[in-house]
Structure 1
Amino acid sequence: MAAPALQAVDEDGTTWNDPSEEQLRDLLAGLSLTCRFVVLRRLDLEPADQHYIQVYLNDDLSCDVEYREGGSDRHFQAWVPHDDEAFAVDAVAQLLQAWAFGRPGWRDALSWVPWSQ
C-alpha cells in the first residue's frame, strides 16, 4: 500500500489519511468552540511538515485560515467572517478541497496576507 499524500488532523489529535472531499467537509462541519481547528498536511512534499493548510474557528464563529508552502516566506493567512450566525463551512470546505486536490484558483478565494504571529 502506498504512503498517504495527505493527512488531516483535528484538535483532539484524530488523523485521517488521504481524506476524501466529503471527509474534509465533515471535518470542517465538526468544528466547534471545543474542537477549534483542522490541519491538512501534504506528506509527499519536502521539506517535511512545511506544506499545509489549516483552519481555526474563532469565538465569533469567524475563522482564520493559513497555508504554508515551504519556508517562512511562503506562509500566508486570511480571515473568513461568519455567515448568518454560523461558521461558513461550504466556502472553507471548497477552499480546502481545491488545495488538497491541486485545483487551480484556490489562492484567489481569499485575500491572503503574509503570516505574522
Structure 2
Amino acid sequence: MGHQPTNDFLWLDTNFEVEVKSTQSRKPDYSKISRLISNAVASAARQNVVKDSFIIDLGEYKTPEKLFNQLSEYNQKHMVSPEGMKQMIKRLYLLDGNGFRQLLLK
C-alpha cells in the first residue's frame, strides 16, 4: 500500500500548505512548468488530496516576462484535466534569478 501524497511544507506566516517544484532545464518553458503543476494536482486529486499552492524553483534562471505572463494564465488554460478533474490552483510563486515573486493568477 502506497503513501498518500502530501504538500512539501506548511507556510506558517500564511497558514497554507505549499508544493515546491523545480526543473533543471537551462531554459524552462511554459509547457514543462505547467506539466509539473498539473501532474501534481491531478495525482493528488486522485487520492483526495488538494494541492493548490505552488512555488516553482528555477534556480538562477531569469524568467523572461513572456514566460512570467504565460504562467499567470495557468488557471485559464487548465480549468479541467482531460480526465474531468479540476486543475485550477490558488497560489503560484516563482523563485528564480530575479528573486521570489508571486504571480497574480488570472
TM-score by length of 1: 0.30
Structure with more of its chain in strand, by fraction: 1
Normalising by the residue count of structure 2, what TM-score does the alignment of the two structures yield?
0.31
